[in-house]
Amino acid sequence: MNDSQTKNKHLVVLIHGLWGSFKHMNSMKSVFNEKFGKIHKTDNDLNNIEETIFFAPIQNTLFKTFDGIEIIGYRTLVELCHFVENFHKQNRDSKIIKISVVGYSLGGLVARFVIGKCFTECKDIFKDIKPFVFITIASPHLGIQFYDKSKLNSWILNPLKRFLGSTFLGKSGRELFIIDSGSREPILVRLCQNEYFYALSLFQHRILIANVKNDRTVAFYTAFITDRDPFIESGNTLRYFFECNIPAEDSYNGTILPRIVDLNRLNFKDKAPTKDEKILIQQWFLYRIIVPIIVIIFIPFAVVINMCGSLYSYIGTLKYRKLSTKDKQLSAFVKEKIALSNTIHDFVGDTCDSIINESAQKNKYMNANEDDLALHKSQNTFVLQGGDEDDSEDDGDTTISSDLQFLSKQVPYMTANDVEMWKKFIDKYSHNMDLSEEWLKTFHKLPIDENRRKILRNLSKVDWIRVPIYVKSINAHSGVIARRGLNKNTPPTGYAALEFLGLLIKYLLETNES
């Protein structure tokens, strides 16, 4: 077909996290589709449209996320290759010209594994697809480690959490704590080198989103890729100062703007406002009575469930673990499953007995995604009532709108002022790890080990747009992507964070020259 008649497509891959499913990414998909589903290039030619297609792998759900980054990554790789090959076969008038990858939580690490294979072992499929944006949201790039210095935490809770996390989350848990043993380096260290680093460097843009508070799963420092954490060091008692110059303010669906923290304005002497006595009593009752009761009841049940999951993962990955000791055999095995020839649609995956018949799963995926998209379309009129989940904090910031409607506003074209504001914003948040930055002088380094120092050094060799964000929610790790869906319980600040990310990608797409 003539190049002028070919429909250019931008593929966005959405990878969920630990103990999750592809449905966790539905809110993100809906917001992104609204913000940059169709991009008119900056030449204002209405016929020059680049459409976005979304792909959320479905093979790694629940217990399967315990299997370790490598096997989760290979499952995802097989699905992705299959999707791209079949898309081009079934859409002769369309061509995927760009790929962006978004990883949430553990999915950010899986995404780094996948791209490393896409542009090396699977380059025949991806050779004509340009790596565009790589994004991680609340992903533990430096693994998980606890640095809280309080006596209760350092002597009892932190060792207990480390033991539980590394024992009852299967191979993935050991990898996150960087205690995975074997003849090779820990996988988090390998992911910052060789083919994985090469693939990461190919992307035109890289973005990090890190929660500053109430993310009890992934701390700020590891999501931000830094060896400093003002929020751990201060016990999260600092007053937050938010970015005043948010680009494209008119493109948000309400009065709530993303609460992006200005790190250079953080100061030990400037504490958050003291809470009133009533709130303090409520918190004391919650954390000293209610929470311990829930923990006593919940932990035995959770331990049993996770033990079953770990056992399931161990048995299900026996074949993989034998192959993983011999890289060449493993690579050949996976290539066979990806089927780089024209017979890709005939393969039946059996990697670790977890990659199932892809032709059947393709229909399942398409139907599930269409159903979810239709559901979100029907929910466009949901009205947010009464604000976000209260994290018992009165920060005196923007009042939460009582009439915020989801996915209802037409995204306007960028003005010259929008472009200028985005340029300044990106420049500022691409350099917030420069040694000249004030916050790096104010706060002390964490006592990270050599493995984490190596990861930090290597990942810092590429440029990142680093965004520290505050989501007002009891569970910011979930709220930052509106994991439970877009409805009246969605934290407005979490929804605003998704809108911000969608608008940032929209700007990068519209100002991209190719």
pLDDT in tens, 159-179: 777 777 767 788 899 999 999
| pLDDT interval class at 359 (50, 70, 90) | very low
Torsion on CA atoms 192, 196, 201, 207, rounded to nearest 10: -70
Q: How far apart are CA 466 and CA 57, in angstroms?
A: 26
Q: Are strands 465-469 and 130-137 parallel, antiparallel or unpaired?
A: unpaired
With a cut of 60, say whether residue 504 has pLDDT above it: yes
* Candidate from 64-73, 169-178, 244-253, 294-303 with smallest mean pLDDT: 294-303
Q: What pLDDT score does 164 carry?
A: 75
pTM above threshold 0.75: yes
- Residue 321 pLDDT greater than 50, yes or no: yes
- Cβ count near 208 (within 10 Å): 23
At residue 299, does pLDDT exceed 50? yes
pLDDT digits (tens, 9 = 90+) for 231-247: 999 988 999 999 999 99
Distance (Å, rounded) from C-alpha 170 to C-alpha 434? 37
The per-residue DSSP string of 474-499 comes to: S-HHHHTTTTT-SSTTS-HHHHHHHH
Q: For the ranges 217-226, 264-273, 377-386, which has the lowest average pLDDT?
A: 377-386
For residues 56-92, b (16+ Cβ closer than 10 Å) or e, as one string?
Answer: bbbbbeebbbbbbbbbbbbbbbbbbbbbbbebeeeee
DSSP class of 417: H
The three-class DSSP label of residue 7 is: strand
Average pLDDT over residues 128-134: 98
Supply the pLDDT for residue 169.
82
Looking at residue 254, its pLDDT comes to 66
In this structure, of 14-18, 278-282, 376-380, the range with the lowest mean pLDDT score is: 376-380
3-state secondary structure (DSSP) of residue 399 = coil
Three-state SS at 443 = coil
**CA 15 to CA 65: how far, in whole Å?**
11
User: CA geometry: angle at 116 spanning 115 and 122, to 5°?
Assistant: 80
pLDDT above 70: residue 282? no
Taking 70 as the threshold, does the pLDDT of residue 445 lie above it? yes
Q: What is the pLDDT of residue 334?
A: 58
Question: Is residue 382 pLDDT above 50, yes or no?
Answer: no
Of 374, 398, 396, the residue nearest 496 (C-alpha): 398
Q: What backbone torsions phi and psi does residue 429 show, to the nearest 5 degrees?
A: -90, 0
Compute the radius of gyration of the chain from its Cα atoms.
Answer: 23
- The answer to whether residues 452 and 143 touch, using CB atoms and an 8 Å cutoff, is yes
Burial degree of 325 (CB within 10 A; 0-12, 13-18, 19+) = exposed
Evaluate the CA torsion angle 412, 421, 514, 90 in order and state its sign.
Answer: negative
Among 246-255, 259-268, 340-349, which range has the highest average pLDDT? 259-268
The pLDDT assigned to 500 comes to: 98
CA 493 to chain centre: 17
DSSP β-ladder status, 130-137 and 205-211 = parallel
pLDDT at site 5:
72
DSSP state, residue 348: B
Is a pLDDT exceeding 70 seen at residue 443?
yes
pLDDT, the chain, mean: 80
For 363-373, write each residue's pLDDT tens digit. Answer: 444 444 444 43
Per the model's pLDDT, the better-predicted residue between 214 and 314 turns out to be 214
**Which residues is 210 bridged to in the sheet?**
468
* Cα(328)–Cα(332) distance, integer angstroms: 6
Place 3 in a pLDDT band, splitting at 50, 70 and 90.
Answer: low
Is residue 351 very low, low, confident or very high in pLDDT (cuts 50, 70, 90)?
very low
Tens of pLDDT along 330-339?
566 555 555 4
- In this predicted structure, the answer to whether residue 130 has a pLDDT above a threshold of 50 is yes
pLDDT value at 460 more than 60 = yes
What percentage of the chain reaches a pLDDT higher than 90?
Answer: 55
Across residues 418-442, what is the average pLDDT?
95
Residue 229 confidence (pLDDT): 97
Residue 168: predicted pLDDT: 74
pLDDT tens digits along 29-52? 999 999 999 887 655 555 578 899
Inter-residue contact 442 to 267 (CB < 8 Å): yes
Give the pLDDT score at 365: 44
451 contacts 178 by C-beta, under 8 angstroms: yes
**Amino acid identity of 131?**
P
The one catalytic residue in 105, 139, 251, 354 is: 105
Q: Are 425 and 417 in contact (CB under 8 A)?
A: no
User: Could you confirm whether 105 is annotated as catalytic?
Assistant: yes
Look at residue 210 in the predicted model and tell me its pLDDT.
98
Residue 223, beta-bridge partner list: none
- Alpha-carbon span 486 to 327, nearest angstrom: 43
d(CA 181, CA 175): 9
pLDDT digits over 82-127, tens only? 999 999 999 999 999 999 999 999 999 999 999 999 999 999 999 9
Provide the token pair at 119.
């542009």
Q: How confident is the model at residue 4 (pLDDT cuts 50, 70, 90)?
A: low
pLDDT given at position 167: 72
The structure tokens listed for 292 are 């311990």
